[in-house]
Structure 1
Amino acid sequence: MSSALNVVALVGSPTPSANSRTLLLVRHLLEALRQRVNIGIELVELAPIARSLGQSLQRSEAEPQVERALATIESADLLVAAVPVYRGSYPGLFKHLVDFIGLDALVDTPVLLAATGGSERHALVIDHQLRPLFSFLQAHTLPIGVYATPADFDEERISSVALQARIQLAAERAVGHLSPTALHAPLRRIA
């Protein structure tokens, strides 16, 4: 049996919520991935580390819990990055956390992007905000992102058939980018 791939799910909501739609979306994405490939899952939530993260101006000042979160993110074979949309973009503390990720840490790492927002008008946050952010880190952002609105949920379950289908498609396509031999290729540098 092959070893499990390390899937890290980064939930970028700065406020804790037991009924977070972003966290619920992530759980459905992880389950869809688990149905297709042998994975180990590590969940990194922004909310528990938000205050200590906000007090750090650089990574060297980060408290141990923030450093552990960063090391977990940097160890991903596949990163699932999901954020709630605030004022047309991802939360500022989410960006602050991503700013501390090592510049070479996510090179060629597949990243499945997801977001939740109050309406369909924020759906392009994946392509206009998240994709460039992770492209700067030279991560391999997967072509299928997943976006959800409150209308897609019925309390603690996803009620939208279209969203359920999108989750399945995203997981199916993500698995195609998970090649154990390609995951750990040495990084080639220029100059």
Structure 2
Amino acid sequence: MKLVVVSAGLSVPSSTRLLADRLAAATAGRASGPVDVRVVELRDLAVEIAHNFTNGFPGRTLSAAIDDVTSADGLIVVTPVFSASYSGLFKSFFDVLDKDALVGKPVLVAATGGTGRHSLVLEHALRPLFAYLRAVVVPTGVYAASEDWGAEGLAERIERAAGELAVLMSALAGRSAPTVQAPAESAVPAPDSSGSSLPAQGSVTAREDGFRVVPFAEQLAALRP
């Protein structure tokens, strides 16, 4: 599986990158198989991102980063908090992606800040952004304020979020491609003893054109490892 980490930290060393690395290590450690971890440092892409907005074409390094994100089985995205929201560089990177690049992709959202008062940035900024991009955001987000480093609770949040991402990545990566059922002889099932022609609950029906109706329970079971 391929795990891509997007870090929007600006300083060196960066607490944003530190949190990103800890989340990546925890996710790789909980995955059911080998994980190829790649890191996209947005600080190194700032100029190419700006040029992409003005000329419409990504540079070589930005193009490689976009390919990594698009082909990932899961994403960890971490941003510092600027003005009570994600940074402009963070948002700009996701603005240059194709609008369908993250559809159905598991994403773990995280942020760093100087005070715990900004922790709701995960819910009012990051989660809505990736919901709009139709990604699958794991339930637990991780926020780390300056006082959280070395304090009780951060390690547990990291492990819980990493476990959720690892399970979702494994489930979606192992999902088999849907099969197409051969067309049925009749698009309308014969009436049952009650006189109803509706399919029984949990049954699979197919029309003459090959369209297949799969019960929700069966779809959900296909996502489980």
Q: Aligned residues: percent identity?
A: 36
Residue equivalent to 1:160: 151
Displacement of 1:103 in angstroms is 1.6
1:6 paired with 2:2, answer yes
TM-aligned CA distance change 1:40 to 1:10, over 3 Å: same
1:120 paired with 2:116, answer yes
- Aligned Cα root-mean-square deviation (Å): 1.7
TM-aligned CA distance change 1:144 to 1:58, over 3 Å: farther
Q: Which runs of 4+ in 1 moved over 6 A?
A: none
Which of 165, 169, 180 aligns to 1:174? It is 165
| Correspondence 1:68-147 to 2 at 5 A | 68-147=64-143
1:36 paired with 2:30, answer yes
Displacement of 1:69 in angstroms is 1.1
**1: CA distance, partners of 2:36 / 2:80:** 24
TM-score by length of 1: 0.85
**1: CA distance, partners of 2:57 / 2:160:** 40
**1: CA distance, partners of 2:166 / 2:27:** 7
Residue equivalent to 2:17: 23
TM-score by length of 2: 0.73
Give deviations 1:71-129, integer Å, cap 9, x for gaps: 11111100000000011111112111101111221111000000001111110111111
1:55 paired with 2:51, answer yes
**1: CA distance, partners of 2:145 / 2:64:** 31
Residue equivalent to 1:189: none
Larger Rg: 2
Displacement of 1:58 in angstroms is 6.0
Structure with the bigger RCO (C-alpha within 8 Å, sep 6+) is: 1
Residue equivalent to 2:215: none
**2: CA distance, partners of 1:182 / 1:150:** 40
Q: What letter matches 2:175 in structure 1?
A: A
Q: What letter matches 1:54 in structure 2?
A: A
5+ unaligned residues in a row in structure 1: which ranges?
Answer: 154-158, 186-191
Q: What letter matches 1:181 in structure 2?
A: G
5+ unaligned residues in a row in structure 2: which ranges?
Answer: 179-225
Give the number of equivalent residue pairs.
Answer: 174
Displacement of 1:161 in angstroms is 2.4
Are the aligned partners of 2:52 and 2:96 in contact in 1 as well (CA < 8 Å)? Answer: no
Displacement of 1:22 in angstroms is 0.6
**DSSP-derived class of the 1:55 partner:** helix
**2: CA distance, partners of 1:41 / 1:63:** 22
TM-aligned CA distance change 1:184 to 1:54, over 3 Å: farther
TM-aligned CA distance change 1:79 to 1:134, over 3 Å: same
